[in-house]
Amino acid sequence: MAERLAILGGPKAVTLDTQEQWKPPIEEQKQAICKLIEEQFFSGSGTGIGKEFEDAFAAYVGARYCLSVNHGHTAIMSALYAVGVGPGDEVLVPDLGYIGSYAGVIHLGARPIFCDVDPKTGLIDPADAEKRITVHTRAIIPIHMNGYVCDMDGLFRLRERYGIAIVQDACHAHPAKWDGVNLGALPDLACYSLQGSDPYGKPASAGEGGMVTTNNREFYERMLIYCHLHRVGVEQELTNPLYRMLGNQGLGLKWRAHPFEMALGLISLRTLDYRNERRLENRRILYEGLRGVPGVRLPEPYPKAQDGGFYGGLHLFYAPEQLDGLAPEKYVAALQAEGVPVSGFRDRPEHLRPLIQRGFDLYGHNRGPIPPGTYNYKKGDFPVTEALLGGLALRLPAYIEPVPGLLEQIIAAFRKVAENYKSLL
Ligand SMILES: Cc1ncc(COP(=O)(O)O)c(C=O)c1O
């Protein structure tokens, strides 16, 4: 039945409040922070609330070792240090990514090498990554973008075949699993961000902060010496004599998290499973309703992936060939006019960012891993990523508690645009 699209002056399909209705436990947060103020516990690690949160997080993901740091960035950088990334090395990262995933690569003196993504998921494509492996490749950083789990079996094969380490960027994906095992318990390490506040921040959030988990004792000890200056008990923890001789100063960096963050993180962790289950159920409803709607292509998860977290929203792909080539911008504008809270993905692929295009004299005096002229990446070099970022990848909110009836209205809006798209051609 022909209906007038809202973008052309018709009524909106979505009339309900599109805001998330779930509210964080603010009273509990206040009490936890006030308690630390009363105790005057404003600094310290390896003890108190920080240790309590690390133990709870390790238990949550099922990993033997867990360390808290001040950011997701530094979580990743300390994990890269743990696996031995340094000058002259190359580290594989997806082109549909984020600088936070690879800033640590550059600052350790190594070079990020970009890989294309799998069109079925928008996540790093192990086959494309394999083509870019050289004798210099030390590690790979899969990003479980928005909580969608990468092809870990494909990555494990590369790890075994070429001896490269896997440093997972699980910043969006704290509850996610592969084959029943939380990502935090998989080799070699998993890194998390705690940035933001619930429900829009990272899946477990604390304002700022980061976590790293691993089952590898050597990696754990390397992180301890790298950036955990004066951590309580650090000398007793270190079993490697080479590391132990450094004393409680280690290598001098101090990237510990603030106790207030640890208190907030602990509270957030308590509701994480509830929020994740609700998000999974609401995703199921949306995906079922959108399956088969012309113009929509749903991601095809890897068989062993159990997505979770969903920071930043749910994935959808636009299939213009099903709507006579209607331009992605017009499609998104029509949905938005109907009241659908849909958004496009990140603005540009990593290989076209000025830092990568132009390079940078990182340490001055023509030194550093990415001097001008390092890369000669061009537009079109990563076709899958570029097509997705060119408007084919979309995001919807990952609702915990939407207003009743909202998801049905969103589905109806997609159908309305699909049935009336010809008026936009
Ligand atoms: C994919 C990804 N990796 C790493 C980070 C870095 O986390 P943080 O902001 O806590 O440093 C973020 C933060 O948004 C992220 O989205």
CB contact burial 250-269 (16+ within 10 A = b; e otherwise):
beebebbbbbbbbbbbbbbb
Cβ–ligand 1 distance for 195 under 6 Å, the answer yes
d(CA 199, CA 422): 38
Cβ–ligand 1 distance for 72 under 6 Å, the answer yes
Average pLDDT in the chain: 97
Q: In what order do the strands lie in the sheet with 181-182?
A: 181-182, 177-178, 305-306
- Per-residue confidence (pLDDT) for residue 419, from 0 to 100: 98
Task: Provide the greatest CA pair distance for the chain.
Answer: 77
Pocket test for ligand 1, best of 70, 195, 346 (most atoms within 8 A of CB): 195
- Per-residue confidence (pLDDT) for residue 324, from 0 to 100: 98
- Per-residue confidence (pLDDT) for residue 1, from 0 to 100: 62
d(CA 75, CA 54): 13
d(CA 289, CA 416): 13
In this prediction, residue 274 has a pLDDT band, given cuts at 50, 70 and 90, of very high
Q: Whose CA is nearest to atom 5 of ligand 1?
A: 100
As a whole number, mean pLDDT of residues 74-89 equals 98
Axis crossing angle, helix 259-290 with helix 26-39, rounded to the nearest 10: 160
As a whole number, mean pLDDT of residues 45-57 equals 98
Under a CB-based contact definition with an 8 Å cutoff, are residues 210 and 223 in contact? Answer: no
- Per-residue confidence (pLDDT) for residue 345, from 0 to 100: 76
d(CA 309, CA 264): 17
Question: Which segments within 284-334 are labelled E, that is strand?
Answer: 296-297, 305-306, 314-318
Sign of the CA dihedral running 143, 149, 154, 158? positive
Domains, the chain, ranges and CATH? Answer: 6-23+272-349+361-424 (3.90.1150.10), 26-270 (3.40.640.10)
As a whole number, mean pLDDT of residues 116-136 equals 98
- What's the 198 CA to ligand 1 centre distance in angstroms? 15
Of 24-28, 174-178, 343-347, 351-355, give the lowest mean pLDDT range: 343-347
Cβ–ligand 1 distance for 73 under 6 Å, the answer yes
**Tens digit of each residue's pLDDT (9 = 90 or more) over 235-265:** 999 999 999 999 999 999 999 999 999 999 9
For residue 24, which of 197, 209, 263 has the smallest C-alpha distance? 197
Cβ–ligand 1 distance for 143 under 6 Å, the answer yes
Q: Does an H or E element contain 278, and which?
A: helix 259-290
- What's the 191 CA to ligand 1 centre distance in angstroms? 9
In this prediction, residue 46 has a pLDDT band, given cuts at 50, 70 and 90, of very high
Burial, 223: exposed, middle or buried (Cβ in 10 Å; 0-12, 13-18, 19+)? buried
- Per-residue confidence (pLDDT) for residue 346, from 0 to 100: 67
- What tokens does 326 get? 């209607």
- Per-residue confidence (pLDDT) for residue 344, from 0 to 100: 85
HSE-up of 329 (CA within 13 Å, CB side)? Answer: 1
Cβ–ligand 1 distance for 101 under 6 Å, the answer yes
As a whole number, mean pLDDT of residues 118-147 equals 98
Q: What residue type is assigned to position 273 of the chain? A: D
Cβ–ligand 1 distance for 210 under 6 Å, the answer yes
